[in-house]
Amino acid sequence: RGPAREGRPWKTVEDVELATLSWVHWHNHKRLHGYLGHVPPAESEQEFYATNRSDQTLVEIQ
């Protein structure tokens, strides 16, 4: 699944690269993932790090 493609062959390597980048962006930023609470993986990762950073204690070594 993912972004729709019309089934036409790619004409250049650049077309393949752009299609791959488009799919990766969709996969990480648009696709809702059931295991992650129906949010995109990038959003889940951002929330994970925001939550865990606020729980950390800063230790200063002198």
pLDDT in tens, the chain (62 residues): 556 667 788 899 999 999 999 999 999 999 999 898 899 999 999 988 888 775 566 677 87
What does each C-alpha distance from 8 to 2, 11, 15, 22, 58 come to in angstroms?
16, 9, 11, 16, 55
- In sequence order, the 6+-apart residues with CB closer than 8 A to the CB of 36 are 44
> How far apart, in whole angstroms, are the C-alpha atoms of residue 18 and residue 24?
10
- Give the helix/strand (H/E) hosting 14: helix 13-25
Does the pTM of the predicted model rise above 0.75?
A: no
